[in-house]
Chain A
């Protein structure tokens, strides 16, 4: 997500400042951030001397954002009558959900045809997989459905899929229309860009509360929130794709007499096909991530089951559902990617109709046979609860066995982390006067990106102080910092090892890619299993989730170095360690920073999601706001989280770009 953002914002990169007088400016900036840092240290050291208003945001500074937002929403709902409009839209969506619900799991609605026997769907998916990507994909997608059916999770999985089937196409459509509009009218794009930036940094829950207000809870609310959440990447990729269409292709269209509309629909959009399909892939993955989380607002399906099982600490069933979600994620991801990269097939001219449509015929044949057989053998139609092949008891047993075995270790880790890392760090960050933190953040901004960055950082931080949730925000910050820090401790050495050899690197990248397709919710299962419901579990989940992009970008950074540079180093007689320290890591550093950026973003998202297994940060408040459907509070908290994310994004990207620019200037 963040690398897309980087791509998109790359267009508006400011021209490099003229080099004359650069030294003078540099020294001024140097001293500027040092002065700020000293000031921050003084503020911290002299805490006892400070008035209370400088230690915590004073009352006059705190503005009732939540009340204002609530007023706006009330106005929209009742005075503007937006409620009836949104309800109408939601009813339309509900109608679609009824149709897919009926077909997939036999919901008692029009067209009263369903449910389609699971065997028919499994065969259809297998053939779809074969058509898009050959045997492997056929086995993966067919096998996934078989697993779901045999494990007795068909109904929940279909409840989840029935939403995706409705939400994903709608998101793609909305995203494309918005993207085209933004491409066509640059003022619209300028207005849209900051909104997208904020939207992509808002935690999932922040989306849910307004939807609950306008639409209520249940499947249709889940579908709506899924649509809203998954639209932004489609918009960005549509824009990117349209921009990448070669000018000469468009000119060719014009010279051949294409009208504006024909240029758009027959030249530009088809030429942007690969970006659009990548957008489709992202939309589907975002949909899955959100639909699972939408269980918090009463969306039935796999997510809800998982939530219930986790809350009841029933690891076995949770584990099975986790596997199902992971399989679905991998299948959907591979299928949509295969569609995006599919090579066209050629038929000799004069090939028979049957040969051209061979796969369709095969599908029709197999599907009807499966349908008929399913009428005779009920097992192939529907796997009932008693027939389900659940391994939950076995899993529970082995997990318990493992846990008792590992308990000394996990307990030691937990104790160590809580006593020696978490509590001291948290206490320290909460002890600091808020003014000291603000000044320190400004100093950091100044050091990395000059005066402008310092101001931007303050512009993100001061509103957080003004929300009145300062302490909670600091706990979020501390959790994210600790998690990313610990993740870096593990994943940097791991990726250096991984980058050591090409096949190993490729495998690790594949694993990272796969892990990144998993809905974030999944990461909670193993940590709850290991650490129970505690701070450490949250930390571990965030750590794993944040570690993946870090590994990925570090490997890519280390492997992206031109071989000549390394060979030159070898010729100079560097040892492996020297090469790593003086050549490879410094050269890969800008890329690693991008990894840190994504890592921080992911960590923020995860902290908020993990809130329900016990934290005292913004996430916990967000959950409360959600259960009380308090839009004002929810959005205020959402903005606070988004601002933290955007600040981290700004700092890290600025830093990475600075290093790049300095290198370009030098060479």
Chain B
């Protein structure tokens, strides 16, 4: 299980008249002019562990969708290697690629990618059809997931007869139908209302916990990222600026850009007690510990009432792993840190 589910090394994707040559020039001389090229993915190196949920964020046009397309080999990379479960997908034959997609991968598309000539039900049954399931089995399964996304009544409609949010749910249902091992979700909830969005997030979290599913998730919504992410990757102009846990993204932004990116958010809701905790180094702290995986915001009442300067922090097994500086935590809570 040590092998990462997705591994990508120095991946480039350049659009334009002469992509390969342009990528080579850029490698030697990063400031070279564009010459009619768009560098959608720039030297990205990334590993996603099995069972991990990686959230990719970044401004519009920063290359998130293109990166995911590279990972699923919907587009061929200009340079670099991508391995899925240790297998270089760039070298797969057409047949093997189809097999890999059927066995392992699923994707929800940013603009849904529904088949306009098929009803909702047939759309959802499509991946099962491609996998050669019998008609009755796939219809039954499709009905099941349609009920899950709340579209059971619309199964005979055509995509163009649905609202944007409903279409998006069809797209989600279609990929839910196969419950793949590796899941690429490109802004899957962008058109949903807050209520359904939350329901869907819960559903995905549940599915993720059910078996160790690897998920790459693109979103513009930081709250959503926080709810779901194990790690967050922040992209700018095709390059990954930082790929880290939410705490560290907020507390130790690698670049100015990342710092600005996270500027507006309430840090206390991101940062966990564990992230602020410093090792004991022999000193002794007393009293009841706080759990390391609780956010500072959740601790706020306690922090205000607390009298100790240093509060012990315990990990999930109850071992004391360090102490939390109360003043520092309150600063963060009140928005005065750093």
Contacts and interface: CB of A to CB of B under 8 A. Distances in A.
> Do the two shown chains form a genuine complex with each other?
yes
Most buried by B among A252, A262, A271: A252
Contacts of A259: 98
Contacts of A253: 115, 126
Contact of B114 (A249, A257, A258): A249
A271 B112 contact: no
A114 interface: no
Interface of A: 246, 248-249, 251-260, 262, 266-267, 270-271, 273, 344, 346-347, 349
Contact of A254 (B101, B131, B157, B178): B101
B115 A271 contact: yes
B102 interface: yes
A256 B130 contact: yes
Contact of A251 (B74, B94, B156): B74
Contacts of B105: 255
Contact of B156 (A258, A260, A271, A349): A349
Main secondary structure of the interface of B (DSSP, over half): loop
Given A253-B115, A257-B131, 9 more contacts: A246-B113, A248-B111, A248-B112, A252-B113, A259-B98, A266-B115, A271-B117, A273-B117, A346-B157
A262 B127 CA distance: 11
Contacts of B112: 248
A346 B156 contact: yes
Contacts of A344: 119, 158
A249 B101 CA distance: 16
B143 to A, nearest CB: 9
Contacts of A262: 130
B116 interface: yes
B156 A252 contact: no
Nearest to B127: A256
Range for the number of chain B residues in contact with chain A: 35 or more
Contacts of B117: 270-271, 273
A587 B56 CA distance: 48
Nearest to A257: B102
Given A344-B158, A346-B157, A349-B156, A256 B116 contact: no
Most buried by B among A252, A255, A270, A346: A255
A248 B115 contact: no
Interface in B152-183: 155-158, 171, 174, 178
Given A248-B109, A271-B116, A257 B74 contact: no
B292 interface: no
Main secondary structure of the interface of A (DSSP, over half): helix
A349 B157 CA distance: 12
Contacts of A257: 98-99, 101-102, 127, 130-131
Contacts, number: 72
Interface in B62-87: 69, 72, 74
A246 B109 CA distance: 12
A255 B171 CA distance: 12
Given A346-B156, A347-B156, A349-B155, A252 B101 contact: no
Contacts of B107: 251-252, 255
Nearest to A270: B117
B106 interface: yes
A255 B116 contact: no
B326 interface: no
Contacts of B114: 249, 252
A252 B115 contact: yes
A257 B107 CA distance: 11
A554 to B, nearest CB: 33
The 4 A-B pairs at the shortest CB distance, nearest first, are namely A252-B113, A257-B102, A256-B127, A248-B113
Given A273-B117, A344-B158, A251 B101 contact: no
Nearest to B113: A252
A184 to B, nearest CB: 14
Contacts of A248: 109-113
Contact of B113 (A249, A258, A270, A347): A249
B248 interface: no
Contacts of B130: 256-258, 262
Nearest to B184: A255
Interface string B123-140: 000110111000000000
A271 B123 CA distance: 12
B126 A251 contact: no
Contacts of A258: 98, 130
A257 B73 CA distance: 12
A461 B67 CA distance: 54
Contacts of A246: 111, 113
Most buried by A among B69, B114, B171: B114
